[in-house]
Amino acid sequence: MAGPPVDGVLGAIGRTPLVALRAYPERGDVRLFGKLEASNPGGSAKDRPAARMIQDAWDRGLLAPGATVVESSSGNMGVGLAQACRSRGLAFVCVVDARTNRANVLAMRALGADVRVVTRPDPVTGDLLAARLALVAEIVATTPGAFRTDQYRNPSNALAHRDGTMREIVEALDGRIDRLLVATSTTGTLRGCVDALHAHGLHDTQVVAVDAQGSALFGGTRGPRLLPGFGAGVATALSESAEYDRLVRVSDLDCVIGCRRLALREGVLAGASSGGVLTAFDRLADDLPPGARCAAILPDGGSRYLETVYDDDWVQRELDCDPARLADLVAGGPALPVA
Binder among 186, 205, 213, 308 for ligand PLP (CB under 6 A): 186
Rounded least distance, CB 218 to ligand PLP, Å: 12
Rounded to a whole number of angstroms, the minimum distance from the CB of residue 273 to ligand PLP is 3
- Per rule CB under 6 A, count of chain residues that contact ligand PLP: 19
Where is 157: in which H helix or E strand?
helix 155-160
Q: Is 150 in the site for ligand PLP (CB under 6 A)?
A: no
Which of these, 254, 230, 225, lies nearest to 98 by C-alpha position? 225
Chain residues 20-59 in contact with ligand PLP, contact rule CB under 6 A: 44, 46
Cβ-contact 96, 116 below 8 angstroms:
yes
Nearer to ligand PLP, 233 or 299 (CB): 299
| Helix (H) and strand (E) counts in the chain | 11, 10
Q: Which of 25, 42, 164, 188 binds ligand PLP (CB under 6 A)?
A: 188
**Contact predicate 195/162, CB 8 Å:** yes
Among 39, 149, 189, 213, which residue sits at the site for ligand PLP (rule: CB under 6 A)? 189
Candidates 101-109, 125-133, 179-187, 252-260; binding stretch for ligand PLP (CB under 6 A):
179-187
Strand positions, DSSP E, 241-317? 246-250, 293-298
If the CB atoms of residues 190 and 321 are measured against ligand PLP, the closer one turns out to be 190
Q: Which residues of 4-31 are buried (b: 16+ CB within 10 A; e: fewer)?
A: eeeeebbebbbebebeebebbbeeeebb
Nearer to ligand PLP, 46 or 132 (CB): 46
In the Cβ-directed half-sphere of 91, how many Cα atoms lie within 13 Å? 13
Nearest approach, Cβ of 331 to ligand PLP (angstroms)?
25
Interaction between residue 281 and ligand PLP (CB under 6 A) = no
CA distance 89 to 64: 9
CA distance 275 to 44: 14
Site residues (vs ligand PLP, CB under 6 A) = 44, 46, 74, 76-77, 183-190, 229-230, 271, 273, 299-300
